[in-house]
């Protein structure tokens, strides 16, 4: 059969009527990309600087302060941690001390009430110290469609990787690991080793990035090849494949 040269078989990009989250100001490129929408997973042991990291992300002008129209925080330990209370003081009307799906549903319905995505508020949804939740919980299901609600930052903060469901792990764009035991690092490496190269490289990078408490390893899963940073400022690895 002769080829008909009158056809152009180039794959063209689909024109987008609207792209991205309307954040209020630009942020540093090393941070999770809240304009595209970030599902960030933080895993770190108790007293390892996790709360301090959250406070900096939301209240430090070098990070996300004033980048969102609204910030919603669900935290089971908000009243128990002196550092976390800074967040409650900053966002008193939108901080909740229980994981009430009804409250989350009302937030999502409010976001959906805007017919024009250009008018939809850019929001952050922080889920800190999750209690045991069912795998089909709305708090997990949102991880597959958060961008549609104008959520620029969907952030899960846990002490144990098993606390989040596979739908969260598989849709993560950014992985932040603090101080963890070797068993947890190996377990997490099993899930994300293909992004890095292999699980041994993953474990080695964690040791390099987190030599002591209050450091963390930040993996850009939304990049190809993936990039790994010590904290947010020092790139220590870029996959070569």
Radius of gyration of the chain from Cα atoms? 19
In the chain, where the domains are located: 38-172, 184-241
Please give the sequence-ordered ranges of beta strands (E in DSSP) within the chain, or none if there are none: 38-43, 70-75, 95-96, 123-128, 151-158, 174-177, 217-220, 227-230, 234-238
Structure tokens at 18: 């609207």
The model's pTM is: 0.91
pLDDT, tens digit, 9 for 90 and up, residues 103-147? 999 999 999 999 888 899 999 999 999 999 999 999 999 999 999
Which superfamily does CATH assign the domain made up of 38-172 to?
Answer: P-loop containing nucleotide triphosphate hydrolases (3.40.50.300)
Structure tokens at 186: 């190996």
State residue 117's pLDDT score. 87
State residue 22's pLDDT score. 92
pLDDT at 222 exceeding the cut of 90 = yes
Beta pairing class for 234-238 and 123-128: unpaired
State residue 4's pLDDT score. 64
pLDDT band per the 50, 70, 90 thresholds, residue 197: confident
d(CA 78, CA 116): 34
């Amino acid at each position: 059969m002769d080829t008909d040269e009158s056809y152009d078989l180039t794959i063209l990009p689909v024109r987008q009527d609207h792209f991205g989250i309307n954040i209020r100001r630009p942020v540093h490129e090393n941070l999770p990309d809240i304009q595209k929408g970030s599902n960030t997973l933080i895993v770190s042991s108790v007293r390892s600087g996790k709360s301090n990291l959250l406070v900096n992300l939301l209240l430090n002008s070098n990070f996300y302060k004033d980048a969102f129209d609204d910030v919603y925080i669900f935290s089971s330990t908000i009243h128990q941690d002196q550092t976390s209370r800074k967040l409650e003081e900053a966002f008193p009307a939108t901080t909740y001390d229980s994981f009430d799906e009804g409250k989350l549903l009302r937030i999502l319905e409010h976001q959906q009430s805007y017919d024009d995505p250009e008018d939809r508020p850019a929001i952050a949804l922080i889920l800190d110290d999750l209690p045991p939740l069912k795998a089909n919980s709305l708090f997990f299901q949102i991880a597959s469609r958060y961008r549609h609600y104008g959520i620029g930052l969907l952030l899960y903060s846990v002490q144990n990787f098993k606390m989040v469901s596979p739908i969260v792990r598989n849709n993560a764009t950014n992985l932040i690991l603090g101080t963890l035991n070797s068993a947890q690092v190996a377990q997490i490496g099993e899930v994300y080793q293909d992004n890095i190269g292999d699980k041994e490289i993953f474990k080695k990078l964690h040791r390099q990035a987190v030599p002591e408490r209050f450091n963390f390893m930040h993996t850009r899963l939304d990049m190809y090849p993936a990039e790994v940073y010590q904290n947010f400022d020092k790139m220590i690895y870029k996959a070569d494949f």
